[in-house]
């Protein structure tokens, strides 16, 4: 019975993961461009690989696609190693940044290309191309050539060409990087909506944090060839596991902190927080500007903390207002730290006097402690 149960559990786990990278590395000559990467990509998810230029994103995508082999480690497709499977036999399609459309072919012929290669009957090609062009809102452009299309339309042709073959996974290497800001935003929405409709796994690369947060089910963050954290946008944003991730996404307050043992907790310029056994020695405290509020005299919840701060500046930003504050040093020592607080704009906040003291309130749950250095 136990064996049967664990078999069933294994099957469920295999169904969940469409691709698994197990200890995958890549070196060129003696340079390690990718440290061992372990990453599970789940069936039907929109997974984004995010990181600065040169961090190894394209290298990961090229290895999944079969364009280059790993130096070590294994890539599994639904539990089976695909090291020996050539590019054209992998059930993936890739959308490149430059679209790579055939200039001498019409939109319809570009989109049907993969089906012709697979010797799909002409009548079926015609109907599938038609259906996919409707999906990407290009049904009326079937007879045009790439040069007669806008950048966004060419991008959608490239997407249509990738989805028409009904791949199990679509690999997208910075497909929006060449578009101007406005078109880029509308293509982000289009792409996310398309992924929901066709329910295909998307592995999407970008170096743009906001793009990653707004589009992804999960984000894999890369830094110098290391996969540093994988999680939902909320986890990555509010529960960073390193200083790099804490600083990479939007504004954050990073302050020194020191663990004094599980009983006495963690000391910081924001006072004392509870520690777990994982916290030791010098640390960094991270808390988002929007995680603070001003003390209004109401009763504190058990998980709440409070600290006095001096208001240095109030900046009106439209819907939100930013407060810049000064707080004391670690353990009450001299040496001031700055904290940024952001809250919905209200008259009571805009009227706060610069130079006055305010009481900040926040929840322990909104604080992350990170290893230092
Ligand atoms: N064919 C290659 N030969 C040598 N170095 C390479 C090669 N391809 C990529 N690299 C190096 O690997 C690192 C990661 O590259 P890449 O995966 O393209 O990064 P990203 O896509 O995150 O910008 C970079 O330092 C890059 O110079
Ligand atoms: Mg790249």
Confidence tier at 98 by pLDDT (50, 70, 90):
confident
Per-residue pLDDT reduced to its tens digit, 162-196: 999 889 999 999 988 888 888 888 889 989 998 99
Rounded mean pLDDT, 62-74: 96
Distance (Å) from CA 60 to ligand 2 centroid: 9
Per-residue pLDDT reduced to its tens digit, 103-139: 999 999 999 999 998 899 999 999 999 999 998 899 9
Nearest CA to ligand 1 atom 8: 59
Mean pLDDT of the chain: 90
Task: Decide: 50 and 58 in contact? Cβ < 8 Å.
Answer: no
Distance CA 129, CA 107 (A): 9
Nearest CA to ligand 1 atom 9: 59
Nearest CA to ligand 1 atom 26: 54
Per-residue pLDDT reduced to its tens digit, 207-255: 999 999 999 999 999 999 999 999 999 999 999 999 999 999 989 999 9
Distance (Å) from CA 97 to ligand 2 centroid: 9
């Amino acid at each position: 019975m136990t064996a049967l149960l664990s078999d069933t559990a294994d099957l469920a786990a295999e169904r969940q993961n469409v691709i698994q990278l197990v200890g995958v590395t890549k070196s060129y000559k003696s340079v390690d461009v990718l440290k061992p990467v372990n990453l599970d990509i789940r069936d039907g998810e929109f997974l984004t690989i995010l990181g600065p230029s040169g961090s190894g994103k394209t290298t990961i995508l090229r290895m999944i696609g079969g364009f280059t082999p790993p130096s070590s480690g294994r890539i599994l497709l639904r539990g089976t190693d695909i090291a020996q499977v050539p590019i054209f036999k992998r059930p993936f399609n890739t959308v490149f940044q430059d679209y790579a459309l055939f200039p001498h072919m019409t939109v319809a012929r570009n989109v049907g290309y993969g089906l012709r290669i697979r010797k799909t009957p002409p009548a079926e090609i015609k109907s599938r191309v038609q259906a996919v062009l409707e999906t990407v809102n290009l049904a009326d452009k079937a007879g045009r050539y790439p040069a007669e299309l806008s950048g966004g339309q060419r991008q959608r042709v490239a997407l249509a060409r990738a989805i028409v073959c009904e791949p199990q996974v679509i690999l997208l290497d910075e497909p929006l990087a060449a578009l101007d800001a406005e078109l880029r935003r509308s293509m982000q929405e289009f792409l996310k909506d398309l992924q929901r409709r066709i329910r295909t796994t998307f592995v999407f690369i970008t170096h743009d944090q906001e793009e990653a947060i707004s589009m992804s089910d999960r984000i894999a963050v890369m830094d110098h060839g290391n996969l540093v954290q994988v999680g939902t946008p909320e986890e990555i944003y509010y529960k960073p596991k390193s200083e790099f991730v804490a600083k990479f996404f939007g504004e954050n307050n990073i302050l020194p902190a020191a663990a004094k043992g599980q009983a006495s907790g963690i000391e910081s310029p924001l006072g004392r927080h509870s520690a777990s056994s994982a916290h030791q020695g010098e640390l960094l405290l991270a808390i988002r500007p929007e995680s603070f509020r001003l003390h209004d005299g109401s009763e504190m919840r058990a998980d709440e903390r409070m600290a006095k701060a001096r208001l240095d500046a109030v900046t009106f930003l439209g819907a939100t207002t930013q407060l810049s504050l000064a707080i004391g040093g670690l353990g009450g020592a001299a040496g001031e730290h700055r904290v940024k607080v952001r809250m919905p704009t209200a008259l009571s906040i805009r009227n706060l006097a610069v130079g006055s003291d305010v009481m900040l309130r926040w929840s322990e749950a909104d604080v992350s402690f990170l290893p230092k250095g």
